[in-house]
Structure 1
């Protein structure tokens, strides 16, 4: 009697874990007509393209420029090659970091943030966690570092990971 219940429990857990993942290669983009239709943060069930979401979230309801979406999509693709997170989570974290930087008067472009932090991750032997790099970067910027000096500091710190090999 125990084995069938255990098997059912394992099957249920496996199904739940698969449902939580971001395994779809590309969710279809849903064009959002009004800013209030955009989710505050992207969840695994949202059908909004992460690049479109990043472009539209601060656009005040104005039409989203396809060039901006394409730039963000390219940045997310670059990020995907160097970070453990999915494009959805990269978009959420980039949006969060951009908001935090704006709050301290240091606004930066989300695409540039993703690309710059991906270059830091690229100097390491393994993929990194984008959220961790975002937090390190924000802390340095909050302490008064310029974008260039914060990136140089992170490049040096993360570059040390190569020395242990």
Structure 2
């Protein structure tokens, strides 16, 4: 059987490859946000790409933009993998988010603060991490809500609370005034 350029499967593959290439930043950003190690990021990128390809025949551009659809798939897979890793690490002790935030606040002038902040983001609960990643990607509250399956007002409220929580840990003096 010859596969030609007019073959619907080839057209579908080409369209998917093109869209995935245009929006690869989403996949990379989610992988960086959920995986600290390069090999884990590569595995997650591959899994996101595979699952997106499997789901692509059901993608409806009338219902969602490709970027929103891809974010939803990427975040769902990342969160699922995170839960699996957390279950496996259940018996290992890790520093708490509060301890790490306090450490960053103590060393705010230190050039390693950015690396510590990245570590802290990786330890946020899955929904908060997704919310922060989408916010840092300049998504509107409506877009964040669409991706996470929550209302725009819920996204705004959760984001406000997350910012307050992080601000209070980084600047305890500021939170005392609130």
Give the TM-score of the pair, scaled to structure 2: 0.28
Q: Which has the higher contact order (CA 8 A, sep 6+)?
A: 2
When you count helix as a share of all residues, which structure comes out higher? 2
Given the two structures, how large is their TM-score scaled by the length of structure 1? 0.30
